[in-house]
Amino acid sequence: MRIGIASDHAGFEVRKFLVNALKQEGYDIADFGPEVCRSVDYPDYAAKVGTAVQTGRIDRGILICATGQGMNISVNKFPRVRAALCNDIYLAKMAREHNDANVLCLGGRVVAKELAWEITKTFLETPFQGGRHRRRVNKIHRITDEFNRP
């Protein structure tokens, strides 16, 4: 599984921690930055991950800003991206099982690094249940496809 990850300055330290943990677990990581911890605009980094998910360059994305809200709002503008703000393990599990979420958004000032890792592992390891949930996810795609037609 190829994982894309990015943050803004508020999520920088959590991102670095997660990149190291993911690499130790053997995941293929595309780190979209930023390279140094300085003030940056979260929509720019959400767009990098959103584009990579949308085009299939990565299988799943992880985005971290101060609360996770800005990244979540930004990346959900991309068709075929189903991002979920998950600041606890239960939300990560449900986002995968019921919504087939493909981008995890975290609050770097909301969750500790260790909890962020537990949430991330849950998000990556939990399969989509399909069934009645597939029908609902397909409806989401029809809505976004309709609004994004030229």
Residue 71 has pLDDT above 90, yes or no: yes
Q: Which one is catalytic: 65, 86, 105, 133?
A: 65
Confidence tier at 38 by pLDDT (50, 70, 90) = very high
50-53: long-range pairs with CB below 8 Å, 24+ = 50/74, 50/75, 50/77, 50/78, 50/81, 50/103, 51/78, 52/4, 53/4, 53/78, 53/80, 53/81, 53/102, 53/103
- pLDDT at 130 (0 to 100): 81
**Across residues 50-60, what is the average pLDDT?**
97
Q: Is the pLDDT assigned to residue 149 strictly greater than 80?
A: no
Tokens representing 10? 């508020």
- Model confidence at 150, pLDDT cuts 50, 70, 90, reads low
Reading the block at residue 87, the tokens are 């600041």
Residue 137: pLDDT band (50, 70, 90) is: confident
Using CA atoms, how far residue 68 sits from 28, 43, 149, in Å, is: 23, 11, 28
Query: 11-22 pLDDT, tens per residue?
Result: 999 999 999 999
> In the numeric block, which tokens belong to residue 96?
């995968």
Among candidate residues 9, 37, 98, 133, the one labeled active-site is 98
Residue 105 designated active-site: no
Domain with residues 2-147, CATH architecture: 3-Layer(aba) Sandwich (3.40)
Using CA atoms, how far apart are residues 81 and 84, in angstroms rounded to an integer? 10
65 as an active site residue: the answer is yes
Quick one: pLDDT at residue 79? 87
